[in-house]
């Protein structure tokens, strides 16, 4: 897979921290930034997917009723209100 070029503006502090991390890890700044972007996108895509699934389940009324939640809490001696 080919690589695309993306320009990003960062604070001077983040730039310095990136340079330091690249130096101590022996990795290039580019590879560290690419890894960070990949992780961020992957995590957020997963979160959005889960949120959509849960909203669809809620729309289908697949979650416990208030009465069921209260009964479970009461079983453990806790008040759900």
Q: Per residue in 12-42, pLDDT tens?
A: 999 999 999 999 999 999 999 999 999 999 9
Give the Cα separation of 3 and 25 in Å (integer).
22
Q: Which residues of 5-42 are buried (b: 16+ CB within 10 A; e: fewer)?
A: eeeeeeeeeeeeebeeebeeeeeeeeeeeeeeeeeeee
CA-to-CA distance for 9 and 14, rounded, in angstroms?
10
Bin 9: left if φ > 0, else alpha if -120 < ψ < 50, else beta: beta
Residues 34-71 have pLDDT tens digits of 999 999 999 999 999 999 999 999 999 888 888 888 99
pTM, full prediction: 0.68
């Amino acid at each position: 897979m080919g690589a695309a070029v993306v320009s990003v503006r960062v604070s001077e502090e983040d730039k310095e921290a990136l340079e330091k991390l690249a130096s101590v890890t022996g990795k290039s700044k580019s590879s560290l930034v690419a890894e960070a972007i990949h992780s961020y996108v992957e995590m957020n895509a997963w979160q959005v997917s889960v949120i959509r699934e849960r909203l669809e389940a809620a729309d289908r009324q697949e979650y416990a009723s208030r009465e069921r939640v209260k009964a479970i809490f009461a079983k453990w001696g806790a008040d759900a209100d």
